Structure 1
Amino acid sequence: MDSTDPSRLKQTLTTIFKVAVYALAVATVALGVAVTVAVSQLPSYQELIRRDDLGQMIRVRAADGSIIVSMGPSFGEWLGHDEIPPIMREAMIAVEDRRFRSHPGVDPIGIVRALFIRAERGEWTQGGSTITQQLARNIFLDNSRSFGRKIREGILAMALEWQFSKEQILELYLNRVYFGGGAYGIDAASRRFFGHSARELSIAEASIIAGLVKAPSNYSPTADAEAARGRAAVVIEIMRENETITAAQAAASDPRQVRFVQGGSSQNSARYFTDWALPQLDMLIDESVQPIDVWTTLDPNLQRAADRAINANTPGGAQGALVSLDRDGAVRAMVGGRNYLQSIYNRATQATRQPGSSFKLFVYLAALETGYTPNSTVQDAPLTIAGWSPRNDSGRFSGPVTLRQALAYSINTVAVRLAQEVGTRNVADMAQRMGITTRVSANPSMALGTSEVRLIDMTRAYASVGSGGSAVVPYGIRRVTTADGTLLYQHQSEGERVLVAPWVAAQMIELLEGVVSHGSGRNAALGRPTAGKTGTTTSNKDGWFLGFSSGITTGVWMGRDDSRTVAGLAGGRAPAQAFHDFMVRAVAGRPVEPFRTEVALPDGVPEPEAEEWVPVPEGSLVDPDGGPLEPADPDVPPIVGPIEREPAERPRDEDDGDIAPTPQSLDRALGRRPRPEPRDPPPPRRERRREDAKPEERD
């Protein structure tokens, strides 16, 4: 071997050592500069105590002040280092960073251990992050796993250690870290999971909270209570090994004995209401940072009653929805489906369905407004409009009947005839005036409820009738305050806005009262003045009942989401029964209020001519069964769906399934004299053309 080889090797090693030393020196200087710059840019301690960077906390409160649900991050009281129970501090250090009190923000031993495990297992299973690094990541960085993020995390951790004491860092960490269930900080977690302040934590409870940081979504008691207890047992064993607690204390601290505060599963139906109400905050307030309390109109007792009424009466395989409004429009209860956890689709505010005969409200309102009265007589007789012949569900005709009788027994031909008399466009305008926000067809079948509507809109319309003709606008938020009570928003009434004249509303109430007292809505009777209307669509796909009593208006819908037939579903059955079961609770504490139906008609109101007809849009088609089809003229609004059909089996009323009334039964039920057999109705006359109207502008 050449004698120069040892000297060359020595020179090589010396060079490598010098390069390493220089590189280390340069890295140290660079690290020092980076840490110094980071220190200069750190917020003050008082700024770090603020937690508004974690998102806005929204607490939604019911009408009685109870919390329905908390949205966004949940913050408890900020606890100073000395206020935090020692067992909580030691538990967190034992499980997350046992060398916390000795390292400078980064733990070299932990990093080396993580590298060895990475080489052994081929994947990162331990990050070697200290409590200070986790704090730096939570405040300043994201959770990406890039190498660059780890470098920045280490620099910020050393800057925090330089700027603040160990006690301050631990205080920041325990008050800001996320523990699952929406809770940030140990006090929020303690109140969320155990129902008391973090000042009162036991060893077992502290071990549960300390064990959550590793994976809040997996170990949170709100996600998996048994997993939380299992993880806590591991924490207790680590604390015993580190001599944080004695063996006797470990044996006496059993996480299985800890009882968790139950979540809001029993109030899951109220989430339909909060999902509807909370998006309105964007239009009501500008505050998007500070925690806020949203005080709503929801009555928890009535919400539970509504939930029970829907689930107890809705047929199997079908869905149900309910909306209840107070006289000022305050939403007292809202159920959008049978189980929010299974389906968040709100059938009370989002679904559009055919209302069937409950839509006749607008037909009769338009008729009353033009001069008809409840005692006005209309022919229940066959009629054909552009080849389409509406039919009564009984397959029979009763001859001349009053409006009171026709609505009570939901006679189809009378509703269609009235709509033609007053004009289908006027009926559509009336529906939209009363609050219907969906498109309303002006085709002949619209009188039977073929245009799709929303339950909340229909409930609003009936509430406006019950209020004497003044607009009732649904609302759910009464006021909004900050956490310290500063008022941000207060609901104000829009003032009285008259939709129909009081005498029109009074006559309509009289008609609707007859539906409940002796018509198709008898199952909804409450033993006090009650008015309402049933609705059933073709092949029993939808069932409706809408009505009011003692200042409360409630709408109920039932049906399948896929619009398939529901055997036995009719508005006068399950929906009316659900209305009854809910309303007996809703009005129980309210005085009995007779309806004000004796409102004098104003002088000079003309009586309409008996046979004034409106021409039907040209191009209407019918199917082989007489049902309407989409018109050929693209300018004519299409018919949304088929009308109600004659039943295949025994005659029955379209709404409640009872035997349909004959002319003689109507006479007996309503106390009038027997009548001769009805004559064929006179042929319709053409509408008198207004001098200022073009042909294409007429209804």
Structure 2
Amino acid sequence: MTLLVKYIKRNKIKSAILAVLLIVYYFCLPNQLFKDPTSTVITSSNNELLGAQIAKDGQWRFPENDSIPKKFKTCIVQFEDEYFYKHPGFNPISIFKALRDNIKSGKVTRGGSTITQQVIRLSRKGTKRTYFEKFKEILLATRLEFRDSKNQILSYYSSHAPFGGNVVGLDAASWRYFNRNANDLSWAESATLAVLPNAPSLIYPGKNQERLLTKRNRLLKKLLEKTVIDSLTYNLSIVEGLPQKPYPLPQTAPHLLQKTTRYHYGKRIKTTINLQLQKQVNNIVKNHYNKLSQNEIYNAAVLVLDVKTRQVLAYVGNTPTDKTHQKDVDIIDKPRSTGSILKPFLYAAMLDAGDILPNTLVADVPTQFGNYNPENYKKTYDGVVPASRALSRSLNVPSVRMLQTFGLDRFHHYLKALNLKDLKYNANHYGLSLILGGAESNLWDLCKSYAALSSTINHFSETSSEYFSNEFCDPIFLASENIDFKKKTTDKTLFDAASIYLTYNSLKEVNRPESDESWEFFDGSKQIAWKTGTSFGFRDAWAIGTTKDYVVGVWVGNADGEGRPGLVGVETAAPILFDVFDLLPNSNWFAKPFDEMQDVEICKESGHRASQNCADTENRFIQISGLKTKPCPYHVLIHLDKTETFQVNSSCEDVSNITHKSWFVLPPLMAYYYKAKNPFYKPLPKFREDCLEANAITMAFIYPKENNSIFLPKDFDGNTNELVLKIAHSKTESTLFWYLNDTFLGSTKNIHEFAIKPKQGEYLVTVVDEFGNEAKRRIKILE
């Protein structure tokens, strides 16, 4: 050290020059050798190629890969630079031989570049091949050898060497020429790619095949002589054919590739996709597309999520249709009309709030709210129906009535808490049609919500009856990410576990497509909570289902919004849903969240908490919030004579002869539709003639609805058809008197229907019974 200091002091100028040269040498090599744009590449969870998007400069150039297959590494070193692991970046002997041969021939006939030098040349594209440039290459090559390992230098070379046409790098070349991963190449295939960067023009299909074959086999012969391969491998390798045409790169998940490219352009991204499942779902969508396209239905999308990890296992953004029908559009994140797919959220919200029990009876009768007139899909009515069955049958009228009872703003608040991104307006903008498709959402958000509900039950059962604060999070498709459900809490995140569990029990009873209608009779059949939806005008068909472990979401329709007859959720989307579930492992049903439930006596007939008048009861577990619901309002205690034929009271019968009996009684309008489908429904017995009646008499219009505008059509003879007025009365045998404005029309008994033929205008229909009770209805007649 002392001698060095003395030398520097004696030779200050030389030392300064040397220091400057060392500094220049140290900084002469850029930190990033290659700045070329690269292709976006996505792989499955097991690193199998799913797809790639060409780089911005039109080259198939995959991102750098540090992992180089052993066969290719051996081939490239033996072919290009046999002393690669021994030289410091350049090989003086090779340079001397090349210089000698080139001087003799008067032109460049041989190169003496090492692999390291070739890496430098590739990074300095466009430079002329002069002796001065050669010197600079040598200088930079030695600097590269000081900075990076031999394996890193080989990685640079294999990632950036030209392989003919617009193919750059080993990874892209192995897929373009052999349709497989570089790690799966044979010795012959590896040797073919090893000789290509030296003369990339040889790869053009149908040209230079003999020259390429000669170069490849010469390299294989060298590997044999050096005992890298044995004679059997050599003999098998030299008979392998050469690639005849470039293969298209795999496009197993093209729409996920689009999604990834938006945020991770030019990178190699490992996703959560299960390759085998993705391919199988692709085939299912393709098969259904072939059938659906015959009805001019061209688009569909499928999303499969793992409930536990929230990972995307399969992502099919569209069918294999053509550009005319927008095959490149990723439907999964596009807003579409929801149809009935939001109904389970309303049911869960009402359970959670304690507004209903699972089988509480809800009205299913003709209904009008202002100008809004919801109708069931089959345009029939049940009078009353258990709430769970209204959900499983997707009845529109009970759903709208439930929403009106629950509160539009209140339900809108729940939907906003689900973070449905396409729900952009306030509650009044959507109105009561919100529950029937008046709003828009997308498959991603809906599947996310169902996965969150399923996970809520799972976590509640797996912990000490606790919830996670970040349950309603977005799914992930990057393998590098993990969901953080954050802290545990005894407070529910949105819905309590019992309300979700009871909702899923109802959805489990949804009628499956015709091909699966006997599913419950098969051993090992999957128990799936699922729901379909169909938007107005048959534009969107939905089906979303969940088990304890998986969520599958399906959308079917036309990307341009064109509606088609038969575009119904249960007929088009549901068959795809169940075909996908058939690929997934069976799951046990959700564990019952007992800590959020209580065993309560329930009236079998009404689904309400049993009152003292309910004769037929059973014990069922309900959500704890359901304890505040009212007892059954439909069972009343009536007093009958000994024959139980007539109602009596103390005014006409001795108390000792009166029989007391519980009776199921519905309001007149509900009873009118209910008894049509329930022949065993018994209306209240009449009072015996010698008794004074004490029961309240009720009646209600069946048709027309309040403030209804009615158009009276004409028949083939040009005559205007009649308008038939209908009313329901609690005592059908009563006489009813009909008035139009102040004009008496007539009377009815038993069957309370009255036909009129009014002229254009506004009218008040009044009906009065023999007891003085009356009902009024305003109508408007149009011509």
Query: Shorter-chain-normalised TM-score: which range?
Result: 0.5 to 0.7
Measured in 1, the distance between the counterparts of 2:76 and 2:115 equals 21
- 1:306 corresponds in structure 2 to 281
- 1:511 corresponds in structure 2 to 506
Label 1:675 to 1:413 Cα distance change in 2 as closer, same or farther (>3 A).
Answer: farther
Counterpart residue type for residue 195 of structure 2: A
Label 1:139 to 1:438 Cα distance change in 2 as closer, same or farther (>3 A).
Answer: farther
Asked if 2 retains the 8 angstrom alpha-carbon contact of 1:535 and 1:545, the reply is: yes
Write the mapping of 1:563-582 to structure 2, written as runs, cut at 5 A.
Answer: 563-582=561-580
Alpha-carbon deviation of 1:186? 12
- 1:558 corresponds in structure 2 to 556
How many residues are paired up?
A: 544
Asked if 2 retains the 8 angstrom alpha-carbon contact of 1:48 and 1:172, the reply is: no
Alignment RMSD (CA, Å): 6.0
Asked if 2 retains the 8 angstrom alpha-carbon contact of 1:534 and 1:546, the reply is: yes
- 2:383 corresponds in structure 1 to 399
1:233 paired to 2:210: yes
Measured in 2, the distance between the counterparts of 1:239 and 1:515 equals 64
Label 1:459 to 1:339 Cα distance change in 2 as closer, same or farther (>3 A).
Answer: same
Q: Larger relative contact order (C-alpha < 8 A, sep ≥ 6)?
A: 1
Structure 1 unaligned residues grouped into runs of 5+: 1-35, 94-98, 115-127, 220-226, 283-287, 481-488, 611-661, 685-699
Write the mapping of 1:442-481 to structure 2, written as runs, cut at 5 A.
Answer: 442=427, 443-444=430-431, 445-468=433-456, 471-476=471-476, 480=480
Q: Aligned match of 2:340 in 346, 357, 361?
A: 357
Alpha-carbon deviation of 1:281? 8.2
Label 1:164 to 1:374 Cα distance change in 2 as closer, same or farther (>3 A).
Answer: closer
Asked if 1 retains the 8 angstrom alpha-carbon contact of 2:303 and 2:443, the reply is: yes
How much identity, in percent, do the aligned residues show?
15
Measured in 2, the distance between the counterparts of 1:173 and 1:359 equals 57
Label 1:608 to 1:566 Cα distance change in 2 as closer, same or farther (>3 A).
Answer: farther
Asked if 1 retains the 8 angstrom alpha-carbon contact of 2:543 and 2:577, the reply is: yes
Alpha-carbon deviation of 1:358? 0.8
Deviations 1:583-615 (A, max 9, x none): 122133x445576693442476355999xxxxx
Alpha-carbon deviation of 1:552? 1.9
Label 1:600 to 1:100 Cα distance change in 2 as closer, same or farther (>3 A).
Answer: same
Deviations 1:497-530 (A, max 9, x none): 6220223213322332232479999699783432
With normalisation by structure 1, the TM-score equals 0.60
Higher strand residue share = 2
Label 1:602 to 1:424 Cα distance change in 2 as closer, same or farther (>3 A).
Answer: closer
Deviations 1:250-296 (A, max 9, x none): 99986861479998966x334544665787889xxxxx99xx984x5
Deviations 1:519-552 (A, max 9, x none): 9996997834322111111232211101122432
Write the mapping of 1:649-660 to structure 2, written as runs, cut at 5 A.
Answer: none
Structure 2 unaligned residues grouped into runs of 5+: 1-18, 52-61, 85-92, 223-230, 458-466, 598-620, 634-671, 685-698, 708-783
Measured in 2, the distance between the counterparts of 1:674 and 1:229 equals 87
Asked if 1 retains the 8 angstrom alpha-carbon contact of 2:298 and 2:321, the reply is: no
Higher helix residue share = 1
Measured in 2, the distance between the counterparts of 1:585 and 1:68 equals 21
Measured in 2, the distance between the counterparts of 1:566 and 1:193 equals 42
- 2:196 corresponds in structure 1 to 211
Bigger mean CA deviation after superposition, 533-542 or 566-575: 566-575
Deviations 1:3-61 (A, max 9, x none): xxxxxxxxxxxxxxxxxxxxxxxxxxxxxxxxx9999745699x999989789999966
Asked if 2 retains the 8 angstrom alpha-carbon contact of 1:270 and 1:303, the reply is: yes
2:196 counterpart SS class: helix
Write the mapping of 1:224-303 to structure 2, written as runs, cut at 5 A.
Answer: 227=204, 230-231=207-208, 233-236=210-213, 257-258=241-242, 268-273=251-256, 276=259, 294=270, 297-303=272-278
Label 1:104 to 1:112 Cα distance change in 2 as closer, same or farther (>3 A).
Answer: closer
Label 1:160 to 1:550 Cα distance change in 2 as closer, same or farther (>3 A).
Answer: closer
Label 1:372 to 1:336 Cα distance change in 2 as closer, same or farther (>3 A).
Answer: same
1:374 paired to 2:354: no
Measured in 2, the distance between the counterparts of 1:368 and 1:456 equals 25
Measured in 1, the distance between the counterparts of 2:150 and 2:107 equals 23
Write the mapping of 1:137-156 to structure 2, written as runs, cut at 5 A.
Answer: 139=120, 153=133, 156=136
Measured in 2, the distance between the counterparts of 1:322 and 1:679 equals 46
Alpha-carbon deviation of 1:138? 5.3
2:510 counterpart SS class: helix
1:176 paired to 2:174: no
Counterpart residue type for residue 343 of structure 2: K
Deviations 1:288-330 (A, max 9, x none): 99xx984x54333433332233222232252221222233223
With normalisation by structure 2, the TM-score equals 0.54
Counterpart residue type for residue 582 of structure 1: V
Measured in 2, the distance between the counterparts of 1:42 and 1:78 equals 33
Bigger mean CA deviation after superposition, 436-445 or 465-474: 465-474
1:326 paired to 2:306: yes
1:424 paired to 2:408: yes
Bigger mean CA deviation after superposition, 168-177 or 321-330: 168-177
Alpha-carbon deviation of 1:453? 0.9
Counterpart residue type for residue 352 of structure 1: P
Asked if 2 retains the 8 angstrom alpha-carbon contact of 1:521 and 1:533, the reply is: no
Deviations 1:219-252 (A, max 9, x none): 5xxxxxxx3674553345689999x99xxx9999
1:338 paired to 2:319: yes
Counterpart residue type for residue 314 of structure 2: A
